[in-house]
Amino acid sequence: MRVYLDNAATTPLDKEVFEVMAPFMLEHYGNPSSIHAHGRQVRAAIEGARKTVAGLVNASPSEIFFTSGGTEADNLAIISTIRSLGLKHAITSPLEHHAVLHSLEVLEKNGEIELALLKVDSKGVLDLEHLEETLANQPRTFVSIMHANNEIGNLNDIQTIADICKKHNAVFHSDTVQTMGHYRHDVQQLGLNFLVGSAHKFHGPKGVGFIYVDSSNKIHPLIQGGSQERNMRGGTENVYGIIGLAKALEIAYRDMDEHQQHIQSLKDRMLHQLREQIEDVQFNGLSAEADKSLYTVLNVCLPASEINEMLLFNLDIQKISASGGSACTSGVDLGSHVLRAVGSDMNRGNVRFSFSKYNTPEEIDYTVAALAKLYQKETA
């Protein structure tokens, strides 16, 4: 048995998604910018995908732009908006993905903005009173807050945040990469300005994402070079990626309730077994609280032990794939900036398990048993 519990990093491609992509790899190969029949056929497919995505998030097709993924979409929302609108202040949290944090830090280093970080408590809960106070003193600010944290799973109330931003005429961008395809998003109801998604987080292909840009915001492209994506992004479109993204999101919305019930049951099963089989097990952030965290993520804080130095390696030997945090920093031995920001004990073993519709109860049982055996050896 090989167990894959790193779905927050990437998910397996749905076979139904591959089936709709395959013809655009082999048969429908025209450049969508070409005016001949081959090109027009592909252009029509892209616009059909755009219409599908727009319909699912309740946007206009003209407000949806395809990108290479969530990172590019975040960069576009942040860098292009701040420069296009001449914004001088920005607010985010220390728990954001590096696609957000690093983009804002570069702008701050260049002297383009003043950056404020929201206060967070030891559970990773954002201080929205601090947000309100900061915006009261600095209206017309750029605000970037993720819908859910990719490491500890905390869900943020982006509706309340959007309302606060609207009250103070702030521009609000939300990185929804971890929740897109797992929760329903209605951009009209939310009233935010920018929202992003990445296909490989909901069983679509890697290397493609999208951004919703509220039509009231006129921003300049981040990538120059052509008139593709209605002059918003230069470069020939990733056609089969776009087709796959739209199909994956369509399936995710179609089967969401069923998948959520299944995945939540797996998370609950792991929680219960870990508490029963491993003494002094804890959970980072709000990941153990069902109504306050992603149902797809459980961030486990294991007892202090020499095992922890090689914990992920030991799990891999046991044929279990998991992670210590964001896959984007897994090759850098700096530890999780999220866990450090909430004051987690870095001497304990911190591991993120993340689940998908393809995981089974048997895989959960196997994983917990393997973990328990490791720590029983240590205490024996």
**Active-site residues: which are they?**
328
Concatenated DSSP letters of 227-254: -HHHHTS-S---HHHHHHHHHHHHHHHH
Residue 64: φ, ψ to 5°: -110, 125
CB 94 within 8 A of CB 324: no
- Residues near 27 by Cβ (< 8 Å), separated by ≥ 6? none
**Residue 300, beta-bridge partner list:** 283, 351
Residues 215, 322: Cα–Cα separation, whole Å: 40
Beta strand 89-92 with 64-67 is unpaired
DSSP H stretches of helix in the chain: 15-26, 37-57, 70-75, 81-85, 98-109, 128-137, 158-167, 187-190, 228-231, 239-254, 256-277, 311-317, 337-341, 361-379
Residues 137, 168: Cα–Cα separation, whole Å: 9
Q: What is the largest CA-CA distance in the chain?
A: 73
CA atoms within 13 A on the CB side of 63: 21
Residues 135, 147: Cα–Cα separation, whole Å: 19
Residues 53, 250: Cα–Cα separation, whole Å: 8
Beta strand 171-175 with 194-198 is parallel
